[in-house]
């Protein structure tokens, strides 16, 4: 906090009262043109900028919205969706003249501090990425009743709305198409099974395979990484030399798997067909390019932000609480 020039000095300079200066500052009506000019000149002259802490205290709002990224940092870097969600969120918030404040939480300590931050009234609303069940942050949000939206994880909370995609259905669709290319022995490189999104993709896979489903052909891995694809693909080939199809839980995973196949001289899509998820930059970089599920990450961010903005502007509660599943789209390229 560095400024020392207050409304007082502006008022003195302009030969007016603080009240009038404040009114000019907030663009309120009932100020004469002459007063307005005088104030504006004075502001410029003395170099005044308003102290937002004081303003916050008086108005009880901050004009800022938190975007809480609730993932280990290393993961954040890998996830191709987070960046796009961020872009969408910032665009909407920026338009509505809210400052987006990104808060990363990667430790208990971070988490505690973020809760304090929320309680402290530094933000008027919050958007939470991949909130976990029963974590202190979402609990604090609900308790405080601050306008919020969750992205990527259905809420156990009843006062917070959720924006996401239908992972299960998306998985079903792409696996169905994969099977339609004549694959008979299909495996899955599954990731993030500790989250709903991961579980749902697996569920979709299982459902479509039906009779053909073989649990031994599901290789789980904690993270959606290239390395998971490499290791998983090797294991899969070990378990099923007659494999002819693979559903990778993300494009990065698929890329890792593809490289293994390359090295072994296995032709894609001739011998093995492979599909990914995300339609991230990996998809077009792979050789051959990946068939995958397009996830509308930026739109996810926009919706979430819009939700919060609406709540902030006092929209109807019922309107705001309804959760949304955004549609995904299959992008069919050459890998299957």
Q: How far apart are CA 293 and CA 279, in angstroms?
A: 6
Nearer to a second copy by Cβ, of 2 and 33: the residue is 2
R_g (Cα) of the chain, nearest Å: 26
- Contact between 259 and a second copy by CB under 8 A: the answer reads yes
Q: Residue holding tokens 């302009």?
A: 14
Considering CB distances under 5 to 8 angstroms, the limit depending on partner class, which of a second copy, DNA, none binds residue 259? a second copy
Structure tokens at 190: 């599954």
Task: Output the CA torsion sign for 144, 150, 153, 159.
Answer: positive
Among 25, 101, 203, 331, binds a second copy (CB under 8 A): 101
Residues in 39-78 that interact with a second copy by CB under 8 A? 49-57, 60-62, 64, 73-74, 76-77
Among 2, 27, 30, 270, binds DNA (CB under 7 A): 30
Angle, helices 33-46/7-14, rounded to nearest 10 degrees: 120
**What mask of x and - would describe binding to DNA in positions 56 to 95, judged by CB under 7 A?**
-xxxx-----------------------------------
Considering CB distances under 5 to 8 angstroms, the limit depending on partner class, which of a second copy, DNA, none binds residue 34? DNA
Which residue stretches of 4-51 are H helix? 7-14, 18-25, 33-46
User: In terms of C-beta distances under 8 Å and separation of at least 24 residues, what long-range contacts does 131-136 make, across chains too?
Assistant: 131/68, 131/70, 131/155, 132/70, 135/70, 135/111, 136/111, 136/112
Element (H, E) at 65: strand 64-69
Among 37, 41, 47, 54, binds DNA (CB under 7 A): 54
The 3-state DSSP class for residue 300 equals helix
Angle, helices 167-180/196-209, rounded to nearest 10 degrees: 30
Nearer to DNA by Cβ, of 35 and 188: the residue is 35
Q: How far apart are CA 293 and CA 276, in angstroms?
A: 7
Q: Which stretch binds a second copy (CB under 8 A): 105-113, 185-193, 206-214, 328-336?
A: 105-113
Considering CB distances under 5 to 8 angstroms, the limit depending on partner class, which of DNA, a second copy, none binds residue 22? DNA
Residues in 264-293 that interact with a second copy by CB under 8 A? 281, 285, 287
Is the separation of the CB atoms in 118 and 137 below 8 Å? yes
Among 13, 20, 130, 279, binds DNA (CB under 7 A): 20
Q: Which stretch binds a second copy (CB under 8 A): 89-97, 173-181, 237-245, 270-278?
A: 89-97
> Within a 13 Å sphere around the CA of 230, how many CA atoms are in the beta-carbon half?
5
Considering CB distances under 5 to 8 angstroms, the limit depending on partner class, which of DNA, a second copy, none binds residue 23? DNA
Of 113, 254, 122, 70, the closest CA to residue 178 belongs to: 254
Among 13, 16, 303, 328, binds DNA (CB under 7 A): 16
Please report, as ranges, the residues that interact with a second copy according to CB under 8 A. Answer: 1-3, 49-57, 60-62, 64, 73-74, 76-77, 80, 83-84, 86-87, 90, 94, 97, 99-104, 106-107, 109-110, 113-114, 116-117, 119-122, 124, 144-146, 226, 255, 259, 281, 285, 287
User: Which residues are at the interface with DNA (CB under 7 A)?
Assistant: 3-4, 6-8, 15-20, 22-23, 25-26, 29-32, 34-35, 48-51, 54-55, 57-60
């Amino acid at each position: 906090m560095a400024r020392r020039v207050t409304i007082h000095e502006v008022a003195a300079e302009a030969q007016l009262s603080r009240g009038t200066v404040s009114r000019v500052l907030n663009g309120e009506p009932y100020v004469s043109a002459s007063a307005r000019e005088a104030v504006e000149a004075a502001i410029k002259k003395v170099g005044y900028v308003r102290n937002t802490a004081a303003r916050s205290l008086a108005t009880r709002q901050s004009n800022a919205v938190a975007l809480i990224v609730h993932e280990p940092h290393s993961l954040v870097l890998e996830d191709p969706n987070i960046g796009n969600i961020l872009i969408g969120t910032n665009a909407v918030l920026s338009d509505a003249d809210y400052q987006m404040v990104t808060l990363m939480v990667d430790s208990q300590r971070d988490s505690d501090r973020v809760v304090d931050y929320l309680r402290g009234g530094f933000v008027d609303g919050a958007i939470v990425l991949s909130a976990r069940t029963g974590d202190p942050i979402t609990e604090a949000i609900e308790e405080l009743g601050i306008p919020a939206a969750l992205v990527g994880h259905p809420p156990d909370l009843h006062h917070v709305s959720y924006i996401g995609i239908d992972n299960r259905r998306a998985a079903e669709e792409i696996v169905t198409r994969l099977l339609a290319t004549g694959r008979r022995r299909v495996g899955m490189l599954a990731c993030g099974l500790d989250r709903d999104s991961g579980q749902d993709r697996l569920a979709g896979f299982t459902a479509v395979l039906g009779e053909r489903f073989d649990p031994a052909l599901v290789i789980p891995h904690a993270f959606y990484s290239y390395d998971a694809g490499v290791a998983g693909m090797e294991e899969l080939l070990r378990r099923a030399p007659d494999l002819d199809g693979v559903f990778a839980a993300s494009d990065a995973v698929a890329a890792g798997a593809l490289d293994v196949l390359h090295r072994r001289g296995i032709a894609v899509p001739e011998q093995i067909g492979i599909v990914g998820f995300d339609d991230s930059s990996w998809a077009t970089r792979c050789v051959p390019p990946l068939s995958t599920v397009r996830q509308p990450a930026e739109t996810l961010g926009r919706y979430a932000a819009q939700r919060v903005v609406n709540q902030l502007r006092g929209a109807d509660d019922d309107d705001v609480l309804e959760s949304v599943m955004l549609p995904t789209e299959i992008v069919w390229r050459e890998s299957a």
